[in-house]
Every structure is written in structure tokens, then in C-alpha cells.
Chain A
Amino acid sequence: MKHNIRLLMTAACLLLGLLAVARPAQAYPWMLKHSYTGCAVCHTDPSGGFLLTPYGRAQTQAILSTFGRGPEGNEVDRRSEFGFGVPLPSWLNAGASAREAYMLTRPSGGPTMKRAFLMQAELKAAVTLGAFEVAGSLGYAPEGAREAAITRKETDNLVARTFWLGYRFSEDKNTVLRVGRLALPFGVRSPEHNWYVRSTTGTNMDAQQEWGASLFHQGEKYRAELMVLVGNYQVRPDGYRSRGYAGYEEWMLSESVALGVSSSVRYQRYDPYQLTDSVTGAHGPMVRWAVNDKWAILAEAELLHRTLVGGATTAGVAALAFADWEPWRGVHTMFTTEAQRESQLNAGLSNREWLTALWFIYPHVDLRVDGIWSTTAIPEAARMNSITALGQVHVSL
């Protein structure tokens, strides 16, 4: 027994230690074109993102990357594992990610702004003990992401975006109960945290995770997750915490088409726009379609509403269409168009077009370049137009 307690304490200390050293997780909904309808087989978070499972890691070598294949083609060796093959005990899963970015933005009529910044520096770990799982991440954010911070500075903070205690009701991951700080189960889960359908609905994986409890369940032809939000306890005072629910259900209409709906309603004492009591919500459909093994299409639309207590109700909309074309293995060209009208008075229509090149060079390394054309409506003012070029180098272990 003493040994068991020591083992558990060692596991907990190792997890906390890993967390104590070091942005958002990865999730690729276009993997549907490789016949992966669900997410749980490759990701520790059953709705997608966070740490890759050992099977998910193997797929980075078997189907995701251009180089680093085995001598016969698709077989997997230890290069896709943590640290290119650092042995880990079976109860421990670990990972690390660093993403450096260089951005050029040219607003209409203004000078070009250039900046290099660290997008992500994060360690992640999960300890599995029987049906229980303890998982978490700890990273460094030179700026932003303050909703996920565990230190209190205006810049250069340690961030804990995600952590949970989970319980699996069966050997497979078909039913999982989790409590902790979780990515909201809502819409298409994707690393593009500033898509309108993610950031405006408060459901991105950058810093908009919330504290709460969620129940995930998947069957042969569907998957669903419902989360009760108890508020983000990394923000004070309590009036800035939102409480309510978020959830989705997605049905596999065929091996190549998935159709889903999402819904979220939250109450907040200090509405981020009006600083008064408000109830906000977002509801809408999403679709994923693998046209063939080279093309995948995603789309999502959300009806937004905001009711100020004792005041008016305003409605808005956020919508997205996305196409991924993989002409050669590991090389992706992506086209995205999105639009939104926020659910606040005098809000105008904003829209963006993205052209993206993403290259998974080798297991653990990928490069990405985005060109973004944006026109943003500003209340009581003219529109603000801009062109942005964003380059990223992403290294993971």
C-alpha cells in the first residue's frame, strides 16, 4: 500500500513538475477525409485537441507528415512518440509544444506593423490510473491569454489552459465524465482560435476554456458532450465569470459526412460590452464533409443573442465556410471565408477571407503561412480594413 501511495504521489508530482516548467491544443476536424469521424481515438480530450494518444501520435507519422515515413512507407516507428522515442511508463502521457510566429499587418491608410511573438510554449501531461485520468497543461504566455493565467502580471504569465480529472465509464472512451478547466464542447473544434465562430461565441482553445463538469458520450453513429459551466476561477471578481451550459451533438450521416448542432447559454454579472447583467447565447448547425481523400469541407453558423437584464435583446450571427485541399501528403492549402454581426447594438457586418498553406514536414514539425483579408465593422465609425500575413513554426514533442 505504501508503495502504491508513493507511486501515486510520484505520478502527481511528476505531472505538477512537468506543468511547473513551461497556447492552445491542436485539433484537425478535416481528418474526416482519412475516415476519422470522431476525435477520441487520437486525442486525450474526447471532443478533440489537447494531448495526442499513442495512436494519434502514430498517425502523425503514418498519414499526416510528408517526411519521416518508415522504409516501407506507412509503418510507424518510435520517431512519432514523445521526444522521438523517450520511453514513458504506460500510465503517463506527455507532450510539449512551441509555436513562434511572425506577423505583418497593414491597415488601410496606415503603416505596416511587424512583430514576432511566441504564440505557444506549453507542456502537457496526463496520468491514467485505472478508470481515472488526471490531465493538465502549463505554459508561458508573453502577452494575452490572461483568462488562463495562474500568475498575476499584465504580461509574461504562466498559463494553465486546461486541466481535468476524468472518469471513464468503460474500457473504451465512449463515456467520459470530466471536471476541471475544459475546452467548451461547442462547434467545430479547431486550433484557429480567432475564427469568429470560436472567439465571438467564447469557445476557442486559446484562453476561453471554462471551469465546470462535462459528460461526453459517443456511439457508433454519433457523439455528444454537454458541459455545465461554473465560471472561470482564474478571473475575479465573480461578476466577470459566466455560468450556464455548452454542448453539441454530431451525427455521422455516412463515413464522409457529419452533421451537428451546438448550443450555449450563459449568464454574466458584468457583460464584457456593457458591464451590466446579461444573458448571452449561441446556437447553430455545423457540418463536416470529406469530398474525397484530398478535399474536406467544414461549415458552421451560429445565431447569437444577448439580453441585458432590464434592457433590450439584440441578435447577431457568426458563420464560417472552410475547405482543405491536400494535393500532396502533408501539404495543405486551406480556404476560409467567415462573417459575423455581433449581438450588440449598432454592430455592423465584419468579414474575413483566409488563404492558408500548412505543411506537416516531419513528425513533430510543421510550418504555416496565412494571408488574411479583413474588414471589420466598428460601431459609430467607418470600417477598418486590413491585410495580414502570418507565418508560424510549430515544434512539438
Chain B
Amino acid sequence: MKSKVVAFVSLILLAAAATAGATPTFPGDLQKALNLPFHPQCTLCHSSAAGGGAVVTSFGRALLARGLAADDTASLDAALAQLTKDKVNSDRKNGIDTLDLQNGIDPSTGAPADSVPSPEYGCGAQLAGTRSPGFGALGLVFGVGLLAAVRRRRQSGGTRP
């Protein structure tokens, strides 16, 4: 029995060692490549602020047409260079796409690209002057649960002989 448990724990650890691609880094890579004064939104290319799924915007599709590949930062740099060389202007107004971005404009829509704060994920991040409710609320749930359980056991007289 012990060996079976060890074997399955090993399997789980082995599976846990595998990792996957890094497409979620594209907004940061884009910011770095074009020296943008803001962290781009996932909606620059995707339909959802959380990213993922199909590339749906004109700017995003223009990058795909120039060799952008998932999980490949080098392909992003190359596609951006080609985009600039081709003078692509997705919204057909303002400047070319890369210049739009550097001016804080969404190259697909012509709208301000940095007017809405980017979403942040996880517990512990703090907005200026505020306290993250993440761990606080988590602690509240567990705390209330423990207190209620202690109280209930006390009321039911559940003591150890």
C-alpha cells in the first residue's frame, strides 16, 4: 500500500513539474519593446480584459499576419518591427499603430488606450491608500467558521472525557 501511495504522489509531483508557455507576458513585452508609459490591456488584442481566446482586434490581427506566435517574445518584436516598416494604421486615423500606442491611443479603435486601469490578480496587491480585501476576507471566512464551531461545541457541551 505504501509503495502505491508513494508512486501516485510521485506521479503528481512529476505532473506538477511540467510548465507551459508565457503568452500572458505579451502586455509587459509590448510595453518594454515600444517603451510605453502604460501597461497595455489584454483588450488591445483579445476580446476579454482577462486575455486568452482568439485575437479579435485589427491591431492584434495585423501582428498575427506578421508572424506573431503564441509564447514567442522574439516573434512579437519581429512583428512589431514589420508593423512599423509596413506603416500599418489599423484605425485609419491618427498615426501608424506603433506611434498610436506610444501616444496612449488604442491603434484599433483610436480611443485612449490607458484610460481604464488594467486588472490586477491575486491577493495582497494594494491600490494606493487602500488595503487589499483579499486575505482579509479570506481570513474573515475562516475566522467566523472557527469561532462558530467553537461556540457550537461549547453550547452542545462537547468535551473530551
Contact = CB atoms under 8 A, between A and B. Distances in A.
A108 interface: no
B138 A163 contact: yes
B101 to A, nearest CB: 17
A129 B152 contact: yes
A163 B20 contact: no
B74 interface: no
A272 B8 contact: no
Interface in A156-176: 156-157, 160, 163-165, 167
Contacts of B120: 152, 235-237
Interface stretch (B75-83, B92-100, B139-147): B139-147
Nearest to B145: A165
A84 B1 contact: yes
Contacts of B150: 4-5, 8
A140 B119 CA distance: 20
A149 B124 CA distance: 11
A177 B23 CA distance: 39
Interface string B22-44: 11110010000000000001010
Nearest to A110: B64
B149 A132 contact: yes
Contacts of A151: 122-124
A270 interface: yes
Interface stretch (A96-104, A299-307, A318-326): A96-104
Contacts of A4: 150, 153-154, 158-160
A234 B154 contact: no
Interface residues of A, number: 73
8 contacts: A84-B5, A117-B20, A146-B121, A149-B122, A151-B124, A165-B145, A235-B119, A275-B49
A155 B23 CA distance: 9
Contacts of B132: 236
Q: Which 5 A-B pairs have the closest CB atoms?
A: A117-B20, A152-B122, A146-B121, A165-B145, A98-B15
Contact of A142 (B12, B18, B116): B18
B38 to A, nearest CB: 14
B105 to A, nearest CB: 14
Interface centre among B56, B124, B149, B152, by most A CB within 10 Å?
B149
A233 interface: yes
Given A132-B145, A143-B21, A273-B47, A236 B54 contact: no
A195 to B, nearest CB: 14
A165 B137 CA distance: 12
A380 B24 CA distance: 25
A16 B139 CA distance: 11
Given A1-B159, A146-B121, A395-B11, A378 B54 contact: yes
A312 interface: no
A130 B142 contact: no
B134 A233 contact: yes
A130 B149 CA distance: 8
A393 B24 CA distance: 25
Given A151-B122, A163-B141, A270-B116, A1 B49 contact: no
A237 B127 contact: yes
Contact of B152 (A131, A364, A376): A131
A179 interface: yes
Nearest to A164: B141
Nearest to A274: B43
Contacts of B145: 132, 134, 165
A253 interface: no
A272 B46 CA distance: 10
B4 interface: yes
A60 to B, nearest CB: 14
Contacts of B156: 130
Contacts of A344: 47
A136 B21 CA distance: 28
A129 B149 contact: yes
Nearest to A79: B4
Given A235-B120, A273-B48, A379-B56, A118 B20 contact: yes
A146 B24 contact: yes
A35 to B, nearest CB: 31
A391 interface: no
A83 B145 CA distance: 27
B75 to A, nearest CB: 12
